[in-house]
């Protein structure tokens, strides 16, 4: 355990071998007989559809949950991983998608607390803590004062703190579970540089992601899981993308672009000179049946625009109108009544009630319709929940399943299902495909398209530009709270959008 000898060459012996790992939750087999070898100094991607068992595998390695069956070897020795302390002692760490750090503690405290490698655990000695942390922060290229409150850092930087923490625990195997899904491109780039460095130091990085481009860029080998079972492992360089998708989904996913635009001439929604604390002078019109993309870096104001439309932030200037009537929502409830729906970005803190069932979460925003006589009409409720479940291709053990037990992508689908039921006139989708597998992404594109075809207006935030180019009629680019471009999708490119999104806002011209 103390021997952290590292070699960047792939020795014949894996650093970590997982053998015949099995895990069930109730009747659901999350993993069945999964065996994976991981080598020192490799980036090993684990991919598969939502619910395939990737996070479960990562959590077992990190000691967050125990396996039901199977065994593990580290450097050829059989080891047991029953809890996070075991994992830490063995040098295995998982960086969770929703970071398990404390925003109200300093960077140094976050690294030192619960860290077996930090000797003064019982005494708070700021100076010693800072000395302990600084070399690790340096290794991940994060130049901050260790006394800084974690919550004051950008999410991308918080992630680097989590990696620094892993390094300080002498981690030799680090699992990244969808670490890039909430990062903007610049931070993804930064993270990849750090992963490259870890690889060169002989650390094994297990990289879980749904983003094809990323995994082909960063990984040496790819392992595919499907429905909790091992499908295969291949060198990334010898695996064409369509073959990989075939391994993942076991069916063909059409990559075709959009059939036709549904945008009509009639203006549905209009925003003129809109200002909030973070937005300056936003003006656009959304037509019936139009899908308008919102591009920009994190912090550019896309989420803020959603909040303004949904009555969650104070509007300090400008006007909005819906179907030619003034639109000024006082609260989310009021926004829903007037006909605007927001599918939030952060499903855990803003969207779903994690301890409640699929059914209750689905009907949450439309209860008044189903509640006509003061009693929720149970049978009707079951029917509609089933219908939207089919529409979104939800995979859950049933309508009674607790949402916290669903895989990330399926949680996202519950949230979408809720809004399909509400039927607003204007939808604001804030990064709906985040953490969603490739098959489900296409399901979501289809859903958006269907809403447009029915004459709804759709505002669609995404950090993946190909997705915006595929789904939208026009793309509005925001940069530091300002509108810097309004582009026709079929006449622009990812490069052009990125140029607007990253330019100095003061120099860019609004169009
Ligand atoms: N705590 C739990 N209770 C019940 N079922 C669970 C629990 N955790 C996971 N599952 C189930 O195990 C299966 C695998 O889930 P897991 O989270 O590992 O999938 P995943 O591959 O990470 O998917 P995603 O890409 O959506 O994150 C799913 O069917 C999920 O519903
Ligand atoms: Mg997962």
Give the Cα separation of 7 and 41 in Å (integer). Answer: 7
Matching CATH topology for 16-247 and 260-339+424-511? yes
Phi, psi at 21, each rounded to 5°: -75, 130
Give the Cα separation of 178 and 198 in Å (integer). Answer: 17
pLDDT at 1: 40
Which DSSP helix (H) or strand (E) runs through 232?
A: strand 229-235
pLDDT at 394: 87
Name the CATH topology of 260-339+424-511: Rossmann fold (3.40.50)
pLDDT at 259: 64
By mean pLDDT, which of 48-57, 82-91, 316-325 is the weakest? 48-57
Question: Which residue, chain included where needed, has tokens 């269907």?
Answer: 450
Residue 408, ligand 1, Cβ within 6 A: yes
Give the Cα separation of 361 and 383 in Å (integer). Answer: 15
Q: Dig out the tokens for 76 from the structure.
A: 């050829």
Average pLDDT rounded to a whole number, residues 171-181: 92
Pairing between β-strand 282-287 and β-strand 267-275 as defined by DSSP bridges? antiparallel
Q: Dig out the tokens for 210 from the structure.
A: 């749904």
Residue 146, ligand 1, Cβ within 6 A: no
End-to-end CA distance of the chain: 60
Nearest listed ligand to the Cα of residue 25: 1
Q: What is the DSSP letter of 365?
A: G
Residue 403, ligand 1, Cβ within 6 A: no
Which residues are within 5 Å of ligand 2 (an ion), measured at CB? Answer: 55, 408
* pLDDT at residue 253 tops 70: no
Q: Is 306 helix (H, G, I), strand (E, B) or coil?
A: helix
- pTM over cut 0.85: no
Confidence tier at 252 by pLDDT (50, 70, 90): low
* Range picked from 121-130, 156-165, 259-268 for highest mean pLDDT: 156-165
Residue 54, ligand 1, Cβ within 6 A: yes
Q: In what order do the strands lie in the sheet with 317-322?
A: 282-287, 267-275, 317-322, 325-326
* pLDDT at residue 254 tops 60: no
Which DSSP helix (H) or strand (E) runs through 222?
A: strand 221-226
- What DSSP string runs through 128-183? HHHHHHHHHHHHTT----TTSBGGGS-HHHHHHHHHHHHHHTT-SEEEEESTTTT-
Closest C-alpha to 205, from 23, 16, 407: 16
Residue 473, ligand 1, Cβ within 6 A: no
* pLDDT at residue 422 tops 60: yes
Report yes or no: 339 and 322 within 8 Å, Cβ to Cβ: yes
Percent of the chain with pLDDT over 70: 91
Pairing between β-strand 267-275 and β-strand 317-322 as defined by DSSP bridges? antiparallel
pLDDT at 341: 93
By mean pLDDT, which of 173-177, 376-380, 416-420 is the weakest? 376-380
Confidence tier at 412 by pLDDT (50, 70, 90): confident
Cα 227 to ligand 1 centre (Å): 10
Mean of all residue pLDDT scores within the chain: 87
The CATH class for the domain spanning 16-247 reads: alpha beta
Q: Is 357 helix (H, G, I), strand (E, B) or coil?
A: strand
Dihedral of the alpha carbons of 215, 349, 87, 156, in degrees to the nearest 10:
50
* pLDDT at residue 5 tops 60: no
pLDDT digits (tens, 9 = 90+) for 347-385: 777 788 889 999 988 888 776 655 554 455 677 777 888
* pLDDT at residue 130 tops 50: yes
- 354 or 1: which leads in pLDDT: 354
Atom 31 in ligand 1: residue holding the nearest Cα? 406
Domain boundaries, the chain: 16-247, 260-339+424-511, 350-423
pLDDT digits (tens, 9 = 90+) for 436-485: 777 788 888 988 999 999 999 999 998 788 889 999 999 999 999 999 99
Pairing between β-strand 474-479 and β-strand 457-461 as defined by DSSP bridges? unpaired
């Amino acid at each position: 355990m103390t021997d952290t000898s590292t070699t960047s060459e792939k020795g014949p012996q894996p650093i970590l071998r997982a053998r015949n790992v099995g895990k069930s939750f109730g009747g659901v087999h999350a993993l069945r007989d999964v065996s994976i070898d991981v080598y020192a100094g490799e980036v090993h991607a684990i991919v598969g559809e939502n619910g395939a068992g990737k996070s479960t595998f990562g959590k077992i390695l990190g000691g967050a949950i125990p396996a039901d069956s199977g065994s593990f070897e580290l450097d050829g020795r059989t080891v047991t991983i029953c809890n996070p302390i075991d994992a830490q002692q063995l040098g295995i760490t998982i960086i969770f998608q929703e970071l398990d750090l404390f925003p109200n503690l300093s960077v140094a405290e976050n690294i030192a607390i619960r860290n077996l490698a930090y000797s003064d655990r019982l005494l708070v000695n700021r100076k010693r803590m800072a000395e302990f942390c600084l070399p690790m922060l340096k290794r991940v290229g994060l130049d901050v004062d260790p006394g800084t409150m974690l919550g004051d850092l950008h999410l991308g930087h918080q992630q680097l703190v989590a990696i620094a923490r892993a390094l300080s625990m002498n981690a030799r195997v680090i699992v990244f579970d969808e670490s890039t899904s909430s990062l903007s491109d610049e931070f993804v780039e930064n993270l990849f540089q750090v992963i490259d460095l870890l690889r060169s130091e002989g650390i094994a990085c297990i990289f879980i992601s749904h983003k094809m481009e990323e995994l082909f860029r960063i990984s040496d080998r790819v392992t595919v899981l499907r429905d909790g079972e091992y499908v295969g492992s291949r060198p990334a360089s010898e695996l064409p993308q369509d073959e990989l998708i075939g391994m993942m989904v076991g069916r063909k996913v059409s990559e075709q672009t959009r059939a036709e635009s549904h945008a009509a001439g009639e203006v549905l929604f209009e925003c003129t000179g809109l200002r909030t604390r973070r937005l300056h002078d936003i003006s656009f019109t959304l037509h019936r049946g139009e899908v308008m993309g919102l591009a920009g870096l994190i912090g550019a104001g896309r989420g803020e625009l959603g909040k303004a439309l949904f009555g969650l932030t104070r509007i300090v200037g400008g006007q909005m109108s819906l179907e030619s009537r003034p639109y000024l929502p006082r609260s989310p409830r009021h926004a829903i009544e007037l006909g605007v729906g927001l599918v939030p970005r952060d499903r855990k803190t803003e969207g779903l009630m994690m301890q409640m069932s699929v059914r209750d979460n689905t009907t949450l925003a439309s209860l008044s319709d189903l509640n006509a006589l003061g009693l929720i009409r149970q049978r009707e409720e079951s029917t509609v929940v089933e219908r939207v479940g089919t529409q979104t291709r939800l995979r859950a053990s049933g309508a009674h399943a607790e949402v916290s037990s669903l895989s990330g992508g399926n949680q996202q689908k519950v949230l979408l299902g809720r809004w399909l039921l509400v039927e607003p006139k204007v939808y604001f989708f804030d990064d709906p495909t985040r953490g969603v597998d490739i098959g489900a992404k296409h399901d979501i594109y289809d859903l958006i398209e269907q809403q447009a075809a029915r004459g709804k207006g759709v505002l669609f935030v995404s950090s993946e530009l190909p997705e915006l180019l595929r789904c939208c009629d026009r793309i509005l680019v925001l940069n530091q709270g300002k509108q810097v471009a309004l582009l026709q999708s079929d006449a622009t490119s990812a490069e052009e959008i990125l140029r607007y999104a990253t330019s100095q806002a003061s120099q860019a011209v609004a169009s």
